[in-house]
């Protein structure tokens, strides 16, 4: 009876060691299949099989030791390229096709990255995408910001692109002292226009947008400044400005942008 108990204990001990070794090997194998790349200061962790998906490329050469690559201070492979654009290169390797966010405008830069990493398939898709964009007629987008300095009119923002108006609404809610969950509907005339009719003059002359129940308060200059910055960020260019005599574009009576 004692021999059977001892034998069972030895078998359990052996099984425990065997399973531990298997788990350690699996963990080791998992780590060995991962690579961390420092691309222009951005760290990317991916599998070796992703980087070696296409033969005779720059990344495949690094993984298989065909190309010597420097290391950063932490021991990661360092590639002196555009770190932000590399996400699109890596996604191409993962998906086998080019998938870019809406409004992507850096085709030429991405084409250069494709050429550097020696990814012919990516280069061809970027070229095809660029050619299609060139053939597609673009509708001109207009933006007008007018300040009538009148209580009944206030500040008016017009744009023939509803998505831009939506962005302005979201931004204004963030920078204002609004206690509302959304944008005050009273100020929106339509999907293409934002009109601020409620405002007062403070003691120092700065006009404040003020809703009648005091749930939305913001300086009119701030609203105009945010609209201008959003326009420039979205690729609009200033076409004309009226009455810039006060030395600042924010104080102009009318601003016209085009994209």
Structure confidence at residue 182 as a pLDDT band (50, 70, 90)? low
pLDDT one-digit tens code per residue, 85-94: 999 999 999 9
Closest CA to 83 of 53, 109, 104: 109
pLDDT confidence band for 135 (50 / 70 / 90): confident
* pLDDT tens, position by position, 101-117: 877 889 999 999 999 99
| pLDDT range class, residue 40, cuts 50, 70, 90 | very high
Q: What is the pLDDT of residue 109?
A: 94
Buried b (16+ CB within 10 A) or exposed e, 9-19: eeeeeeeeeee
According to the model, what pLDDT value does residue 21 have?
47
- Is it the case that residue 17 has pLDDT exceeding 70? no
Predicted pLDDT of residue 188: 66
52 vs 131, residue with greater confidence: 52
- Reply yes or no on whether the pLDDT at 12 is more than 60: no
Calculate the average pLDDT of the chain. 81
Residue whose C-alpha is closest to residue 231's, from 201, 252, 210, 203: 252
142 and 258 in contact (C-beta within 8 Å)?
A: yes
The answer to whether residue 28 scores a pLDDT higher than 50 is no
Report the alpha-carbon distance of residue 125 to residue 128 in Å, rounded.
Answer: 5
Identify the pLDDT of residue 80.
97
pLDDT digits (tens, 9 = 90+) for 193-230: 888 777 776 666 667 777 777 777 788 888 888 899 99
- Grade residue 242 by pLDDT with cuts at 50, 70 and 90: low
Region 159-165: mean pLDDT is: 89
pLDDT band with cut points at 50, 70 and 90 for residue 235:
confident
The better pLDDT of the pair 152, 39 is held by 39
Res. 245 pLDDT band, cuts 50 70 90: low
Q: Distance between CA 9 and CA 87 in Å, rounded?
A: 53
CA dist., res. 186 & res. 100, Å (int): 37
> Are 89 and 97 contacting, i.e. CB atoms less than 8 angstroms apart?
no
Cβ within 8 Å of residue 85, ≥6 positions away: 106, 109, 110, 113
Q: Tell me what percent of the residues of the chain surpass a pLDDT of 70.
A: 74
How many other C-beta atoms are found inside a 10 Å radius of the C-beta of residue 203?
A: 5
Task: Give all strands (DSSP E) within the chain, no chain letters.
Answer: 34-39, 42-47, 77-79, 142-147, 155-159, 188-190, 193-196, 199-201, 207-210, 217-219, 237-242, 254-258
């Amino acid at each position: 009876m004692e021999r059977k108990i001892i034998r069972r204990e030895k078998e359990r001990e052996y099984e425990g060691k065997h399973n531990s070794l298997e788990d350690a090997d699996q963990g080791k194998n998992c780590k060995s299949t991962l690579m961390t790349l420092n691309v222009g200061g951005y760290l990317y962790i991916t599998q070796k099989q992703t980087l070696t998906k296409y033969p005779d490329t720059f990344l495949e050469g690094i993984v298989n030791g065909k190309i010597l690559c420097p290391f950063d201070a932490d021991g990661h492979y360092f590639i002196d390229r555009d770190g932000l654009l590399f996400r699109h290169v890596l996604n191409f390797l993962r998906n086998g096709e080019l998938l870019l966010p809406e409004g992507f405008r850096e085709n030429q830069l991405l084409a250069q990255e494709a050429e550097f990493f020696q990814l012919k398939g990516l280069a061809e898709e970027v070229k095809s995408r660029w050619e299609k964009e060139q053939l597609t007629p673009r509708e001109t987008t207009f933006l007008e910001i007018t300040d009538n300095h009148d209580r009944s009119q206030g500040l008016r923002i017009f744009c023939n692109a509803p998505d831009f108006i939506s962005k302005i609404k979201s931004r204004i809610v963030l920078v204002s002292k609004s206690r509302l969950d959304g944008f005050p509907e009273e100020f929106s005339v339509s999907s293409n226009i934002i009109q601020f009719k409620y405002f007062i003059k403070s003691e120092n002359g700065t006009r404040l947008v003020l809703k009648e129940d005091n749930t939305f308060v913001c300086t009119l200059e701030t609203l105009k400044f945010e609209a201008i910055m959003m326009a420039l960020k979205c690729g609009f260019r200033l076409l004309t400005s009226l009455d810039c005599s006060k030395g600042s574009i924010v104080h102009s009576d009318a601003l016209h942008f085009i994209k």
